[in-house]
Amino acid sequence: MISVTDQFPPTNKPSESLAGVTVRLAGDSGDGMQLLGTQLTNTSALSGNDVATFPDFPAEIRAPRGTRAGVSGFQVQFSAEEIFTPGDGLDALVCMNPAALVTNLGDLKRSGVLIVNSDSFEAKDLKLAKLESSPLEDGTIEAYRTIKVAMTALTRGAVEPTGLSVKLADRCKNFFAMGLVFWLYGRDVEPTLRFIDQKFSSKPEIAEANRLALKAGWNYGETTEDFASTYQVPAAELAPGTYRNIMGNQALAWGLITAAKLSDKELFLGSYPITPASDILHELSKHKNFGVRTFQAEDEIAAVCSAVGAAFGGSMAITTSSGPGIALKGEGMGLGMILELPMIIIDVQRGGPSTGLPTKTEQSDLMMAMYGRNGESPLPIIAARSPSDCFNVAIEAWRVATKFMVPVLILSDGFIANGAEPWKLPDIEALEKIDIEHPVQPNDGDTFLPYARNEHLARPWALPGTPELMHRVGGLEKQDGTGNVSYDPDNHQYMVETRAKKVELVADFVDPIEVEGSDEGTLVISWGGTYGACHTAVSTCIADGVKVGHVHLRWLNPFPRNLGEIIKRYDQVLVPELNMGQLRALIKQQYLVDAQGLNKIKGKPFHVNEIVDGINAISK
Amino acid sequence: MSTELPVLKPADFASDQDVRWCPGCGDYSILAQMKKVLAELGKTPENTVFISGIGCSSRFPYYMNTYGMHSIHGRAPAFATGLKSTRPELDVWVITGDGDALSIGGNHFMHIIRRNVDVNIILFNNAIYGLTKGQYSPTSKVGTVTKSTPRGSIDHPLNPVSVAIAAEASFVARSIDTNIKHLVKTLIRASEHKGTSFVEVYQNCNVFNDGTWAYAKDKATKLDTTVELEHGKPLIFANGTKGIRLNGFTPEIVDLEKVAQDDLLFHDEKTDNSQLAFLLSRMRYPEFPEPIGVFRDIDRPTYDDMINSQVDDARADKGDGELGKLFSSGDTWTVG
């Protein structure tokens, strides 16, 4: 038997050690770039690197071939150090066609490695990319270390023994590119070989062709003189433990399943497919043996309403969506709020307004989360800061929802949802249980008061099926205690204030916020998926001697109790956000501080450098 | 050996809240018959849930001493689906109106029916918007003059029974608020059916649309304007003097002095094919007597059964989910 090492021998070329590398793979949306990126990420993580990814793809499933609109990219940073972002400038860029080259070249560092499939730069390809001349010949690529590889021809040659048609052979190109990239960075091919076996188990000829293409790419690097050396990125020093790679939506789903287990609940998800939230529905629907029921509703409204119905029945009820869907769910969320039932509403934010940029990231739903319902309808809001953080956020959200009997909103975003990073598996035994009590007898003599309140202002969660506790809930204002319909003016004021107070009390229950860095000078306040970029930027500035501190908000409603006191210590406040300044407006309103904004609304995450520049610009 | 259970009376299903419908409203009768039916069927208040949307009829849950939810406009079927999917042992009723079910809630109405969630939907059809003080509804006849249609409404009405049948309903019936015996009988049939039971009730709004169903309710006319459906029996009305016969695909009224009963259209509520039920639903006054009773009652797997079977099957196949196994599925690596 031929071993993997025989087939993919270690390089004889000199190898240079690097602390970290940022690579982007770009091609047509049908070229399999996402698959290539995922494989590179997994094998890097498995070899002990810290990794962070940024998949970037068009909303169309198959945008017109070869056009700039159809370019799909996958960026990954793998590092020997702890990292928090998928990287700013690219060390290497792989381009499968001219459109991918012109739309991505601007991010490649000067003298970075550019690998192109030179077979796809024919006149027709240039025309599709709306190019007058070939960037390979007109000086466009002069500043880079360009390696032109005839990938199409080489792949066809490599897979010839399988007898595949040219069309199918050409689809193996991404595995050729993968082989080459894996060779260049000394990546382990074994996990990918396993993946090929599993993925194409029913199509052995395709599996064989992909293996041949992978091997051809590897050998091409080793044999030709195009590449003088390879690179090695040693393992990072991560905390001891068992790790796996995890994406944000997957981590959310697993966090929800874990929260259901911790609270001894069955899980119900009412959801309507929407980018970029659908993967939570997909993931949860795979795990029915955890007592998970998923309901793909007829629309967003039915999705949230079914969740309220399930919450009334005593399930851990969830609805998931993105901005446009959350807009539709507003009335149902308001009902959940006035019914004072625990549930979780997840908004995986994307570029807006309206349909906006479905596959791009943005943080522009914060105000909708805060105020996007009729009447006085505050809800606790928690935001995840990274893919793996989604796991903890899901559990914390359910803890608060059940403690206070209130729907909790989780904000994620497209960047976190599709991004991946290593996740240290939690010690399951150490996870704190979530205690939930359902009353079994009247709470006021012989009478049951469905809106009697405990010290958290929470009402009892009495379930249908319980004798003597029959009660009616509804969207009309209700009398405190009895829950009967009430138009009494004083009662209405009391109920509005009480429901708001309940959200405020959440602040007593969550950890105070901590400052990273300096406690004077400039304060950076961030929330959600910009954590990595802000954290890295602040660390960079501190290393340069700038006085700057950083707080990252996990709870957006209520704000942590100590935030006001922290803000007072600083001369200026900078709020970087992927929106027009929504958190900044809330901060200014609540703390009367002249916070400055750093706002990017391009459908893309922050580069670290953009925040470094922002900090330097306002710091004295 | 059986333990004697306390027998509940209709009054045991009444909540302590004052009923606030207008005096003379048809809703009172439906409420009274519902309590009677639940008592008669031996239902228990704690295992019964009424879910409604918005509108006059949707105040119904407040008046029942059961569990209840007065939800938002048009969405009661969605709440009911979430509840019944997770608590299939509960007896779940949806109370709705013509605007609630067919206008703002048209989508949910159609989808709960096609899914065959095991709930009973009672649609109080008064062909008007009562709670918002008298605008025309999706079941109002063309030309209905209301505050919002001073020159008469111009939209063609929906026929609730036809809509339900087209949405693949497994149980469809029609009754009348003041026809107490028939209403009780129909509600019992609806309750006994497993799957979505849809019942349209002709309900009079004596304030904004008084007399809209007078032809079907008045003693003087009802025998000629309605025909009671009975499974396996011919369609006979007008005190046994007239019947309905099929002429090709078209029903026609025939005189029983001239036509033998065997030549009449025989009702079959159990046939899998919904064409007969649909044809019957198209018989409208004044051209035809309007059928009341059960149009269709077939067996079809219910959504709540299936969603729960999938969970049970997954647990049987894979065992109860274990977090440790889940987390370490796929590739992992160890540091330190």
Query: What digits encode the pLDDT tens for the residues B198-211?
Result: 999 999 999 999 99
Contact A314 B44 (CB under 8 A): no
Q: Residue range B161-184: average pLDDT?
A: 98
Neighbours of B157 (CB within 10 A): 18
Residues of chain A found within 8 Å of residue B308, distances taken between Cβ atoms: 293
pLDDT at site B1: 47
Residues of chain A found within 8 Å of residue B61, distances taken between Cβ atoms: 472, 474
A window 261-290, beta carbon within 8 A of B: 261, 266, 268, 270, 287-290
Provide the 8-state DSSP code for A484: -
Nearest CA in chain B to A333: B72
Report yes or no: B200 and B224 within 8 Å, Cβ to Cβ.
no
- Candidates A245, A250, A298: best to mutate against B (most CBs of B within 10 A) is A298
Report yes or no: A70 and A58 within 8 Å, Cβ to Cβ.
yes
Q: Does B330 touch chain A (CB under 8 A)?
A: yes
- Candidates B75, B91, B96, B100: best to mutate against A (most CBs of A within 10 A) is B75
Q: Could you tell me which residues come within 8 angstroms of residue A114 by beta carbon, excluding any fewer than 6 positions away?
A: A92, A93, A95, A101, A105, A108, A141, A144, A145, A146, A147
| Residues forming beta bridges with residue B1, ordered by sequence position | none
Contact A309 B81 (CB under 8 A): yes
Report yes or no: B282 and B161 within 8 Å, Cβ to Cβ.
no
Q: Does A238 touch chain B (CB under 8 A)?
A: yes
Q: Does A316 touch chain B (CB under 8 A)?
A: no
Q: Does B82 touch chain A (CB under 8 A)?
A: yes
B47, part of any domain: yes
Q: Residue range B60-81: average pLDDT?
A: 98
- Candidates A242, A301, A306: best to mutate against B (most CBs of B within 10 A) is A306
B197, part of any domain: yes
Residues of chain B found within 8 Å of residue A335, distances taken between Cβ atoms: 71-72
Residue B42 falls in which region: left (phi positive, over 0), alpha (psi -120 to 50) or beta: left
Torsion angle of the four alpha carbons A329, A335, A339, A342, in this order, in degrees rounded to the nearest 10: 10
Report yes or no: B78 and B53 within 8 Å, Cβ to Cβ.
no
One domain for residues B209 and B74: yes
Contact B111 A288 (CB under 8 A): no
One domain for residues B191 and B300: yes
Residues of chain B found within 8 Å of residue A47, distances taken between Cβ atoms: 333
**Residue B2: pLDDT band with limits 50, 70, 90:** low
| B220-240 per-position pLDDT tens digit | 999 999 999 999 999 999 999
Where does chain B show beta strands of DSSP type E? 48-52, 67-70, 91-97, 120-125, 128-129, 135-136, 171-176, 197-202, 226-228, 236-237, 242-247, 250-255, 290-297, 332-335
Provide the 8-state DSSP code for B328: T
- Note whether A4-232 and A244-430 share their fold: no
Look up the CATH number of domain A244-430: 3.40.50.970
Domain ranges of chain A: 4-232, 244-430, 516-618
Nearest CA in chain B to A330: B72
Question: Using CA atoms, how far apart are residues A453 and A478, in angstroms rounded to an integer?
Answer: 14
Report yes or no: A492 and A486 within 8 Å, Cβ to Cβ.
yes
Q: Does A195 touch chain B (CB under 8 A)?
A: no
Q: Does B80 touch chain A (CB under 8 A)?
A: yes
Low-confidence residues in chain A, pLDDT < 50: none
Q: Does B306 touch chain A (CB under 8 A)?
A: no
- Candidates A243, A335, A472, A478: best to mutate against B (most CBs of B within 10 A) is A472
- Fold classified for A4-232: Pyruvate-ferredoxin Oxidoreductase; domain 3 (3.40.920)
**Residue B3: pLDDT band with limits 50, 70, 90:** low
One domain for residues B241 and B110: no
Among B261, B304, B264, B273, smallest CA distance to B84 is for: B304
Buried b / exposed e across A457-470, counting CB within 10 Å, b at 16+?
Answer: bbbbbbbbbbeebb
Residue count of chain A, please give it.
Answer: 620
Tokens read off for A568: 């007072």
- Compute the C-alpha angle A341/A347/A350, nearest 5°: 165
Place of tokens 């979430």: B82
Q: Does A253 touch chain B (CB under 8 A)?
A: no
Average pLDDT, chain B: 96
One domain for residues B157 and B274: yes
Q: Does A254 touch chain B (CB under 8 A)?
A: yes
Q: Could you tell me which residues come within 8 angstroms of residue A51 by beta carbon, excluding any fewer than 6 positions away?
A: A41, A44, A45, A76, A77, A78, A79, A83, A245, A420, A421, A422
Question: Using CA atoms, how far apart are residues A351 and A363, in angstroms rounded to an integer?
Answer: 8
Pick the CATH number of A516-618 from 3.90.700.10, 1.25.40.90, 3.40.50.2000, 3.40.50.920: 3.40.50.920
pLDDT at site B85: 98
pLDDT at site B7: 86
Task: Give the pairing type, strands A20-28 and A71-79.
Answer: antiparallel
B160, part of any domain: yes
Question: Using CA atoms, how far apart are residues B98 and B139, in angstroms rounded to an integer?
Answer: 7
Q: Does B220 touch chain A (CB under 8 A)?
A: no
Nearest CA in chain A to B114: A298
Q: Nearest C-alpha of chain A: how many angstroms from B277?
A: 26
Report yes or no: A459 and A452 within 8 Å, Cβ to Cβ.
yes
Sign of CA dihedral A161, A165, A168, A171: positive
B238, part of any domain: yes
B219, part of any domain: yes
Contact B315 A288 (CB under 8 A): yes
**Residue B274: pLDDT band with limits 50, 70, 90:** very high
A window 446-475, beta carbon within 8 A of B: 464-475
Residue B228: HSE in the Cβ half-sphere, 13 Å Cα cutoff = 14
Q: Nearest C-alpha of chain A: how many angstroms from B132?
A: 15
Q: Nearest C-alpha of chain B: how many angstroms from A283?
A: 12
Question: Using CA atoms, how far apart are residues B251 and B290, in angstroms rounded to an integer?
Answer: 12
Q: Does A251 touch chain B (CB under 8 A)?
A: no
Q: Does B64 touch chain A (CB under 8 A)?
A: yes
Q: Which domain holds residue B257?
A: 233-266
Neighbours of B44 (CB within 10 A): 17
One domain for residues B239 and B305: no
- Candidates B327, B328, B329: best to mutate against A (most CBs of A within 10 A) is B327
One domain for residues B261 and B182: no
Nearest CA in chain B to A334: B72
Question: Using CA atoms, how far apart are residues A36 and A213, in angstroms rounded to an integer?
Answer: 13
One domain for residues B183 and B228: yes
Contact A314 B87 (CB under 8 A): yes
**Residue B5: pLDDT band with limits 50, 70, 90:** low
DSSP three-state, residue A67:
coil
One domain for residues B258 and B275: no
B110, part of any domain: yes
pLDDT at site B8: 94
Residues of chain A found within 8 Å of residue B67, distances taken between Cβ atoms: 312, 464, 470-472
ipTM surpasses 0.85: yes
Task: Write the residue in A242, A291, A306 that is nearest to B79 by C-beta.
Answer: A306
User: Domains in chain B: how many in total?
Assistant: 2
pLDDT at site A63: 81
Q: Does B214 touch chain A (CB under 8 A)?
A: no
| pTM, rounded to two decimals | 0.95
| B112-147 per-position pLDDT tens digit | 999 999 999 999 999 999 999 999 999 999 999 999
Residues of chain B found within 8 Å of residue A42, distances taken between Cβ atoms: 331
Q: Does B320 touch chain A (CB under 8 A)?
A: yes
